[in-house]
Amino acid sequence: MTNLNELLAWFDDKKKVLVSLSGGVDSALVAYAAKTKLNKNALAVTADYKTLSSEELDSAKNIAKEIGINHKIIEYSELDNEDFVKNDNKRCWGQRVTAEKLARIEMGEKIIKQKTGLTQVRVRDIDGNARIEVESDKINLLQNDDIKSEIFSKLKMIGFSNVEIDPEGYSSGKLNLIFEN
């Protein structure tokens, strides 16, 4: 599909739909199209699986409210799933997932977003060290000595041993590459 009209047309022969709403742009557009075409016969569902950041969950809630689509949140804790927590070599992350680590990552991302105004931020926890990833054309926002010093200090206060800025910037799936090397 290349435009909104094609997406809207996709719903023409549907009577009811359930769409997954992650809080991102793509799922928001699908939810909008579903609501536009099917009104009350469209339901958006967000999985609050406890490793989803509160920011993403809030985004999904706000999008659903703005669109006016019926919205259901399904709660599921991946951290109660032994296979998920085990996170063996069959998984892409290659490291153990804990609630503490996830909270530290989320807090680190919030600190950076609040200090810089950036929206696309990833903090990677690699053996207790924080690697900050932002869009490559925004890295310069982290180079101000005062901002950089405050961010590094706060990330260390929340438990990171060391902090670095990834000079290549953010790209989806980068963590897979880090662990392959």
d(CA 100, CA 13): 46
Per-residue pLDDT of 53-93, as tens digits, reads: 778 888 899 999 999 999 999 988 777 777 666 655 555 54
Give the tens place of pLDDT for each residue, 133-156.
999 999 998 989 999 999 999 999
CA distances from 17 to 24, 65, 71, 146 (A): 19, 18, 12, 50
pLDDT score recorded for residue 94: 44
Q: What is the mean pLDDT of residues 1-15?
A: 85
Helix (H) or strand (E) run with residue 23 in it: none
Fold annotation for 4-76: Rossmann fold (3.40.50)
pLDDT of residue 19: 94
Q: What is the pTM of this model?
A: 0.53
- Order of strands across the sheet with 70-75? 17-20, 42-48, 70-75
| Predicted pLDDT of residue 181 | 46
For residues 7 and 32, give the distance between their C-alpha atoms in angstroms, rounded to a whole number.
10
CA-to-CA distance for 78 and 94, rounded, in angstroms? 16
List for the chain the helix, strand, coil content (%; round to 5).
50, 20, 30
Examine domains 4-76 and 82-180 and report if their fold is the same. Answer: no
Domain chopping of the chain, boundaries: 4-76, 82-180
Specify the CATH number of the domain 82-180.
Answer: 3.30.300
